[in-house]
Chains A and B, each alone.
Chain A
Amino acid sequence: MTQLAPTPLTVVGAGPAGIMAAFTAAEAGVSVTLIDDNPLPGGQYYRQAPPEFRFSDPIDAQSGRPDAPAVLKKLPHPIIKVLNNMLVWGVFDQHNLALADGEQSYLLPTDRVILATGAYDRPFAFTGWTLPGIIGAGAALRMIKTQWVLPGKRVLLAGLGPLQLALADALIKSGAEVVCVAEAANLMRSWQQLPKFWGHWERIQEGMAYLNNLRKNKVPVLYNYAIVGAFGKDHVEKAQIARLDEQGAPIPGTERQFDVDSVCLGYGLLPSFQLAAAFGCQLRFDQNLGWYAPQHDASMETTQEGVFVAGDVTDIAGAKVAQVEGQIAGLTAAHQLGCISGKVLAERLGSLRSRLKRLNRLAEALQKIYAFRPGLAKAAKEDTLLCRCEEITFGQVKKALADGATDLNQVKLATRAGMGYCQGRFCSVLAAPVVAEVTGQSMSDLYPFTVRPPIQPIPLGVLASGAKINSHP
């Protein structure tokens, strides 16, 4: 491993939270190392198109989002060192980050660290969910907006939340047919949340514009429906949705079938907390999410001193919240490193926290409306794959539980679910409700799989690069 020069502050992830965290700390005088595993900064939300593409509307080079340039122009910065195409795969002694690019491994000593590692599409299991043509809604949006390729020409959207409307809009504008949007939320039960939208006119307008476009294109939007099956030989050809009961479980006999060549699954996002867990940060169970996220205080510091989180890695609340959280983390880290006084910190945190409070009112309303209802886990059947990597079914996990497994780690040892390439990112959230139901525990009692380095698979050659072999004389 190549040893890199020590850095006072490392920010992991160059999305909205990471860029603002790095920029805020750097403006306060901290030299920052900003690490990202993509070729260009922006993260997933402000993901930039390849520089080789040319656009009739210049904003399309910067994710097509009007708010992107304001964030992306913070880089380059004289005292922010950006490491692109670089993966953080572990942490040793709390202050040594293990990195890897395509060629070799590096060790980066760092005093403080801000984890802005973002989120990924929540897996949703049902008969046939592994068929080619079925992709995450976030993945579909990225392919359309940055690679300018469609996932298919006849697309069914199934999921939970406003991202589905944005995706449907993008698909239609790009020439695809959206055959149906199956929204799992039951909006009739959400009217209590409406007052929290007061003042957020821009977001309301955006939603209305999407809905109008869907109406104009005669796209059926079915509320309280979820996907329950997909069929095809080598590629998805048919998709089946069903109406949901009070708990969110599909009601047998209410199925409707559509001919498709692609299905986009948008059942929300899950925090990429693996690096935070590797740092030993305590995770908290989030009721709306039905899953875990790193715990943090009002300064975005985790339960580990000097380790901060910002953005979707801890609060699935979108790019605006992420930016403010990044600023709060960046300022606090700068203060801990002696670059700004306690007085300046308090002043600046005051205004950032009131802005965050206002933004969080809307985020919380959306999280409640689009909460992942426990019954949604019932879309999976006994022979449905739970672990895509090791090809383990729900039935096999139930058998391991009948044979005596009592928690997620024991299920992993008994079945191999969670030992594959994705390292449990997709299967742990699917296994947890099954374990909870069979063992009578609550979801919040089931801590996720233990995280071990490398937190993402890296080739052995890269791991061993530069290693000195001790040979005895």
Chain B
Amino acid sequence: MPGDLRIQTGVTRGQPFQITVNGNAVEAYPGETIATVLLAEGGPAFRHTALSGEPRGLFCGMGLCFDCLVTLNGKQNVRACLTYAQPGDIVERQLR
């Protein structure tokens, strides 16, 4: 799996903060969506499907396909691509 996928040249991000992804502390930057943080981190699927357990991740990136669903602060099925990361967020990839 690739390392950090954030583009480094041409952009300056603000002060990073921590969120928790499946129990691990992960760095996020102000203005990033949950999808960006998960994508940048690399790693496995955003979720597994309910029926066959297939892995899914970011697909349409504009809130239409509902493939990037995660559990955010206890709330299930939140679209990661539309939701901005906030300090202290607790994200669970919906894996089984």
User: What residues of chain A have their CB less than 8 Å away from a CB belonging to chain B?
Assistant: 37, 39, 44, 49-57, 60, 120-121, 130-136, 138-140, 142-144, 147-153, 174-175, 234-235, 261, 272, 388-391, 420-422, 425-426, 456-457
Interface residues of B in 13-69 (CB under 8 A from A): 13-14, 29-33, 35-36, 39-40, 44-46, 49, 51-52, 54-67
Knowing that A139-B59, A388-B56 are A-B contacts, what are 13 other residue pairs whose CB atoms are under 8 Å apart, sorted by A's residue number?
Answer: A53-B11, A132-B46, A134-B59, A135-B60, A136-B60, A139-B60, A139-B81, A150-B5, A174-B7, A261-B1, A391-B52, A391-B54, A457-B66
User: What residues of chain B have their CB less than 8 Å away from a CB belonging to chain A?
Assistant: 1-2, 5-14, 29-33, 35-36, 39-40, 44-46, 49, 51-52, 54-67, 81, 84
Contacts of A54 in B (CB 8 A): 11-13
Say yes or no: A57-B10 contact (C-beta < 8 A), given A135-B61, A149-B40, A388-B65. yes
Contacts of A175 in B (CB 8 A): 7-9
Contacts of A148 in B (CB 8 A): 6-7, 11, 13
Instruction: Name B14's closest neighbour in chain A (CB-CB).
Output: A52
- Cross-chain pairs A/B with CB under 8 angstroms, 27 sampled: A49-B31, A52-B13, A52-B30, A56-B10, A120-B60, A130-B54, A131-B57, A132-B46, A133-B57, A135-B58, A136-B61, A139-B62, A139-B81, A142-B61, A142-B62, A149-B7, A149-B32, A149-B39, A151-B5, A151-B39, A151-B58, A175-B8, A235-B1, A389-B66, A391-B51, A391-B52, A420-B66
Say yes or no: A55-B5 contact (C-beta < 8 A), given A120-B62, A139-B58, A147-B33. no
Contact, CB under 8 Å: B57 / A132 = yes
Contacts of B63 in A (CB 8 A): 37, 456
Number of A-B contacts (CB under 8 A): 139
Instruction: Name A49's closest neighbour in chain B (CB-CB).
Output: B31
How near does chain B come to A374, taking the closest CB pair, in angstroms?
A: 24
Q: Give the top 9 A-B pairs by smallest Cβ distance, nearest first.
A: A50-B31, A132-B57, A139-B61, A421-B66, A52-B31, A52-B30, A54-B12, A150-B5, A234-B44
Contact, CB under 8 Å: B56 / A147 = no
Of B9, B30, B49, B84, the residue contacting A391 (CB under 8 A) is: B49
Contacts of A272 in B (CB 8 A): 64
Give the CA-CA distance A132 to B93 in the complex, in Å: 13
Instruction: Name A425's closest neighbour in chain B (CB-CB).
Output: B64
Give the CA-CA distance A128 to B39 in the complex, in Å: 19
Contact, CB under 8 Å: B44 / A60 = no
Give the CA-CA distance A120 to B58 in the complex, in Å: 14
Give the CA-CA distance A39 to B9 in the complex, in Å: 25
Give the CA-CA distance A378 to B84 in the complex, in Å: 38
Give the CA-CA distance A395 to B49 in the complex, in Å: 19
Contact, CB under 8 Å: B2 / A261 = yes
Give the CA-CA distance A5 to B66 in the complex, in Å: 32
